[in-house]
Structure 1
Amino acid sequence: MFSCVKPYEDQNYSALRRDCRRRKVLFEDPLFPATDDSLYYKGTPGPAVRWKRPKGICEDPRLFVDGISSHDLHQGQVGNCWFVAACSSLASRESLWQKVIPDWKEQEWDPEKPNAYAGIFHFHFWRFGEWVDVVIDDRLPTVNNQLIYCHSNSRNEFWCALVEKAYAKELRLDEPPHTCWSSLCGYPQLVTQVHVLGAAGLKDSPTGANSYVIIKCEGDKVRSAVQKGTSTPEYNVKGIFYRKKLSQPITVQVWNHRVLKDEFLGQVHLKADPDNLQALHTLHLRDRNSRQPSNLPGTVAVHILSSTSLMAV
């Protein structure tokens, strides 16, 4: 079915896999190295990233857990809602995802044959009128042992993270990310970066105010790591969102992490007005239930940067 598939950058999956097995090593892709240069077009924003193979993230990694579902996906910090939407559509039709994820049974982890695993995967993308086979290694960017980009509901399911890495490799080697973004999304209405710096004066709780924030924008969201034992946490979490409905506000929620059920501490809404493209806000937390929200204990500091060009954020 894929006799006309072209190896991307002349990397032959079968030959590379055989060579790794022969040498008893895990594949390391020289064209898409596990470095910051593979993550960012310019600069290295955010906390330090550690590249990990799935076996270093969980004990029992799988390509698929209980099959493939359009509800598996979360976009992570890059804010590429268009990619997550495309993958969700892909997952809903078996005839489609089996074209993009070839030989999936062969690529799946086999706990009975651990020595057969070579840390290499390949995926097919339709590009300029032909199928292209893109090879990657399995090293994925993490912060605090959590995948920072596209990931599944199941911690040990990696198909979407690996497909995203293969697609990112294809885009990175072809053209700068800002050009790719424009061509994939059409003319961008507005690209907004939301940088939650931290909070102060959060109310006391039995857990010491072990808090985290969630940034929500047009159905997408980014969550920070839990900041433990402080009423003045520094979240330093960023999210980049492609916005089409500029009248809808961006929401930042603060939550207290509890053993049984997390506790809502408050939220703020930001308009991110296109006429005020860069602003630093310190806002009082408000309730979410009452018709006229009242101020709650604590403030949150948020930096907003909006532009019609991804390069600017």
Structure 2
Amino acid sequence: MTHIGTNLSTSHFFLVGIPGLEDVQVWISFPLCLIYIIALLAISCVLLTIKTEESLHQPMYLFLSMLLFVDLIKSSSTIPKMIMIFLFNLREISFEGCLAQMFFIHSFSVMGSSVLLVMAFDRYVAVCQPLRYSTILTNTLIIKIGIMVAIRGILLIFPHPFLVRRLPFCRSHVIEHTYCEHIAVAKLSCASIKINIMYGLIVALLVVGVDIICISVSYSLIVTAVLKLPSREARHKAWSTCVTHVCVILLAYIPALFSFIYQRFGGHKTTSTQIILSNLYLIFPPMLNPIIYGIKTKEIQRNILKLFCPQNIKY
């Protein structure tokens, strides 16, 4: 690995990619490129279907649109640069570009967690308050929720670039990562990064910790309500409306939690396992979320076929 000398300006950083796997990164770029293309096509397909079909202009699908939009921005902030690193060895990134990438990745990750929480609330209302569903989740409320999701992500992550900008970088400018992750960049500083670490922990508790607790409470109430339903068919229908969302939650939070714990408490030396975990929640959810909803949700299936193969649909 090439190291940068001391007393360098912070005009540029250099992204390693996956430490220890530099020799095989070119081969990783091909499936990565395929995953990104599938994600773009799948997300675009579902978003276009929801936009064009009035029958899908319901809270559940509007929240799904928010989630897919967040996934699109989050993956587009990371995967194209990863491909350039792996395939063309274009490792250099400007300091300002690094801060911008850091802000987009972390802020949209917060927004994604917020949307998952909102979707859990949507499922709670649908199962536990079905008669009041349309009166509770009005279009006005959905717009307000979307604005609050964006504000939460921006405000909580806004300090990150400034916390990094204040640091002196008098040692290596080589980031042992595939993207400008906050702590990975801060670790390059020759000054104390306790404030960065503490603020990162606070954000994690305010976002992942609070959201997981609220989602768990929501689903505990849903389970209680479903078990009280009189017929087996009604219970099956209620469960089916929640299974897809639960799969998406697990897909989002499990890799993110492992990545967070490994990044903060896995020691100073960066490993390939740590970097791979840090990339999983950015790479796979944008591809799998629209596919999961497309497979599990008959309304989306039917309207996608109607949109792209109208001659094969019986009205």
Q: Which bin holds the TM-score, normalised by the shorter protein? A: under 0.3
TM-score relative to the length of structure 1:
0.24
* The structure with more helix, counted as a fraction of residues: 2
TM-score relative to the length of structure 2:
0.24
User: Comparing both chains, which one has the higher relative contact order based on Cα–Cα distances under 8 Å and sequence gaps of 6 or more?
Assistant: 2
